Amino acid sequence: MLDAAFFRRWMSTAAAAVDREAARLTDLDSAIGDADHGANMQRGFRAVTAVLEKEEPGTPGAVLALAGRQLISTVGGASGPLYGTLLRRTGKALGEAAEVTREQLAEALGAGVAAVSQLGGAAAGDKTMLDALLPAVGALGESFDAAAAAADAGALATVPLQARKGRASYLGERSIGHQDPGAASSALLIGALAEVAEAAA
């Protein structure tokens, strides 16, 4: 079972991964965006870690809801409200349980990803974070490692796609041949989840 401490570790491990990979995220965004994705994610996840340490929410749902609110209030780019919605909606779907199962998390994350799709109007294949998140949700029903592998594969599979949503879509065909930065950061987020699960096992 996954408790609030597990979810706080997920968020701090994600923050560490974002710190480590910030330059790569910004490089990806400089090719098809405005070169701020690394900085946006770093600012957001540092703020998430800080607020979780200060407030120590006591349930998985409350951890993710607080993390999501913090992302929305600290990240200016498109990714802030989208990731914020992902975590808030996932947290809401987990309800007030003190502990949840991987299967329950998979279902809740599915609701979170659907909310991202609704907010941003993007679907699979539009070359966005959803191309990593949607396969991850599907595979999380199987295992944490399968989810991380699916997110990595999904992020890599955005390279040949043409962007149909967000800033990269302004480039039209010139967006082809580059990995989507948000799909790359989503793969980091799911990778951090698998890392924390591995350490807890």
List residues binding ligand ADP (CB under 6 A): 29, 33-34, 36-37, 40, 77-79, 82, 116, 120-122, 128-130, 165-167, 180-183
Residues 6+ apart with CB under 8 A from 51: 66, 67, 70
129 binds, among ligand ADP, Mg ion, none (CB under 5 to 8 A by kind): ligand ADP
- Rounded distance between C-alpha atoms, residue 101 and residue 195, angstroms: 16
Distance, in Å, from the CA atom of 124 to the CA atom of 170, rounded to the nearest integer, reads 18
Burial class (CB in 10 A: 0-12, 13-18, 19+), 162: middle
| Count of residues interacting with Mg ion (CB under 5 A) | 5
Q: Which residue is nearest to Mg ion (CB)?
A: 33
CB of 42 to ligand ADP, least distance (A): 11
**DSSP code, position 1:** -
C-beta of 11 vs 82, nearer to Mg ion: 82
Q: Does 34 bind Mg ion (CB under 5 A)?
A: yes
Dist. CA 62–CA 59, nearest whole Å: 5
> Which residue's CB is nearer to ligand ADP, number 57 or number 84?
84
Does residue 171 contact residue 12 with C-beta atoms inside 8 Å? no
Q: Which stretch binds Mg ion (CB under 5 A): 33-41, 49-57, 94-102, 145-153?
A: 33-41
Start-to-end Cα distance in the chain: 10
The 8-class DSSP code of residue 3 comes to: E
Smallest gap from Cβ 114 to Mg ion, in A, equals 24
- Residue 195 is a binding residue for Mg ion (CB under 5 A): no
Indicate whether 36 belongs to the interface with Mg ion (CB under 5 A). Answer: yes
Min separation Cβ 27 and ligand ADP, Å: 12
Q: Does 191 bind Mg ion (CB under 5 A)?
A: no
Shortest reach from residue 176's CB to Mg ion, in Å: 18
Closest CB 96 distance from ligand ADP, rounded Å:
29
Are 98 and 58 in contact by the 8 Å Cβ rule? The answer is: yes
